[in-house]
A and B are shown apart, each in its own frame.
Chain A
Amino acid sequence: MPELEVKGKKLKLDEDGFLQDWEEWDEEVAEALAKDTRFGPAIELTEEHWKIIKYIREYFLKYGVAPPIRMLVKFCKKEVNPNCDLQYIYKLFPQGPAKDACRIAGLPKPTGCV
């Protein structure tokens, strides 16, 4: 399984680049996850990115799951940018909220059913 080195510590990732242990996350880890090109293009984290990452992280710590997309979009419209819609979020996180935003926020891999 892939690993990610942050501050000399080797963190375990899964095949899709999600942290194996969500408790190991901090802001430096987020920066490293965003720069990791093994699981998608590198993302330069701006203030807008951080607002979204922190919202997702806090929601997860409170409820144990990632927020529904509808709530994420509502939050972004209110707190990030009044023009924000789902496409705007894809501009910030090109591979989408699950693969990029949740991964960088250090959430365990969302269980997906296709």
Chain B
Amino acid sequence: MPVVDGVELPETPLLDELEKGPWPSFVKEIKRAAIEQEKAMKAGKKIKLPGSAKGLLKVLELAYKEKRTHWKHGGIVSVIGYGGGVIGRYCDLEDKVPEVWHFHTIRVNMPAGWFYTTKALRALCDAWEKWGSGLTNFHGSTGDIILLGTRTEHLQPMANALAYLDKFYGSPAPFDIGGSGSDLRTPSCCMGPSLCEFACYDTLKACYEFTMRYQNELHRPMWPYKFKIKCAGCPNDCIASKARADFAIIGTWKDEIQIDQEAVREYAKVIDIEEHVVKKCPTKAISWDGKELKIDNKNCIRCMHCINVMPKALKPGKERGATILIGGKAPFVDGAIIGWVAVPFIPENELIEKCCEILEAIWEWWDEEGKFRERVGELIWRKGMDEFLKVIGQKADVRMVYAPRNNPFIFWRELNP
């Protein structure tokens, strides 16, 4: 048995391969956790699952050796008042590796934009070291903090610890469980105006408002399947909302890109504007004569390229708001879907209220009409966009076209002949 820091670790020749190379390694991290757990025990800390990180190494090594998983499918666990947010997981090696027979996951609602103080992080880790394996994942794909591995009887105490994390663990604020199953998944947003000059609306505020307003939908699954809301401040869409959210709110502007011509001329000294900006504009909406940059805003599709290249010279316009994209999802019943436009523009000051109105109309329709495991995008495909537009009270608009038809009988006129 290899001994590290005075701690005996199980023999894991296959997993060790995954520690090689310059990149981060989950095996390295699990080993570190195993060492930390043992140290905590030796220091007399009362931890509930000693040896669980070690147990995880054993199960994983065996899975690699036998080329099959030892995690069983499904599991229904819960804490009081919540139908989602804790995910049951059992291992089929109850006798061989009892330390990880139960290995349930808890999703914790992350703060908007993933801003923490180290105090909050320490408190989370202290509570989880006590009630669980100590292993975490910052963050899961939905955005939640993931606490990996505990037993059924420790779920409720850990949920309580989160709810009183300020009182008993010194966190600046308590935490709540996130979403899972057929409920509203924890809403997420990009860091938006807190750090990014491109933000066209307050993504953090929107995310917080949705989270608070829809606590019932978030904690008590009631729908055909999951529903995700993500708030991106501009079309760069750093949180990939268009591919991952049923309801993506992407910041945009209606008027003209703001240009500081002096700053453009500064850029001209260090980059080739013709090559890197003008030619790269997908709709050829930019011209540059060496002194002045002109943008044909009617033909600008808000791709952000020119702004990303010259952030000191170009800014999104002043009339700001957001576009709502509907239907984005990963493959399951139908294949992957990229969200498409449901509402072309909502002004910033009406955004949250309007979104809530639309969300509630969508949920009512989808919950009534949707089949088991049918995401809202798939329901729209089945029922038709015209029916969906009636539900959300929108008129058809050319910007809602999912993809322009690829038709051999029509030849598009050259945009700039």
Contact = CB atoms under 8 A, between A and B. Distances in A.
B81 A16 contact: no
A46 interface: no
Interface in A55-88: 68-70, 73, 86-87
Interface stretch (B19-27, B36-44, B69-77, B389-397): B69-77
* Residue picked from A41, A86, A111, most chain B C-beta under 10 Å: A86
A113 B74 CA distance: 7
Interface string B40-78: 000000000000000000000000000000000111111
B76 A94 contact: no
A105 to B, nearest CB: 13
Given A15-B102, A40-B78, A95-B78, A114 B180 contact: yes
Interface in A1-35: 15-16, 18
Contacts of A95: 78-80, 82-83
B76 A99 contact: yes
Contact of B78 (A68, A70, A96): A96
Interface residues of B, number: 29
Contact of B74 (A68, A96, A100, A109): A109
Contacts of A68: 224, 372
A91 to B, nearest CB: 9
Given A99-B78, A111-B74, A69 B222 contact: yes
B265 interface: no
B216 interface: yes
A113 B375 CA distance: 13
Contacts of A96: 78, 82-83, 220-221
A41 B80 contact: yes
Nearest to B83: A96
Contacts of A100: 78
Contacts of A41: 80
A90 B367 contact: no
A16 B90 CA distance: 10
B6 to A, nearest CB: 35
A88 to B, nearest CB: 11
B180 A70 contact: no
Contacts of B78: 40, 95-96, 98-100
B181 interface: yes
B368 interface: yes
Given A69-B222, A98-B83, 9 more contacts: A16-B76, A16-B77, A40-B80, A87-B220, A95-B80, A96-B83, A97-B83, A110-B76, A112-B76
- When A and B form their complex, which 5 residue pairs have the shortest distance between CB atoms, in order from nearest? A96-B83, A95-B78, A99-B78, A69-B222, A114-B180
16 contacts: A15-B75, A15-B90, A16-B152, A40-B80, A68-B372, A69-B221, A73-B222, A95-B79, A95-B80, A95-B82, A95-B83, A96-B220, A98-B83, A99-B76, A99-B83, A111-B73
Interface of B: 73-83, 87-88, 90, 102, 152, 180-182, 216, 220-224, 367-368, 372-373
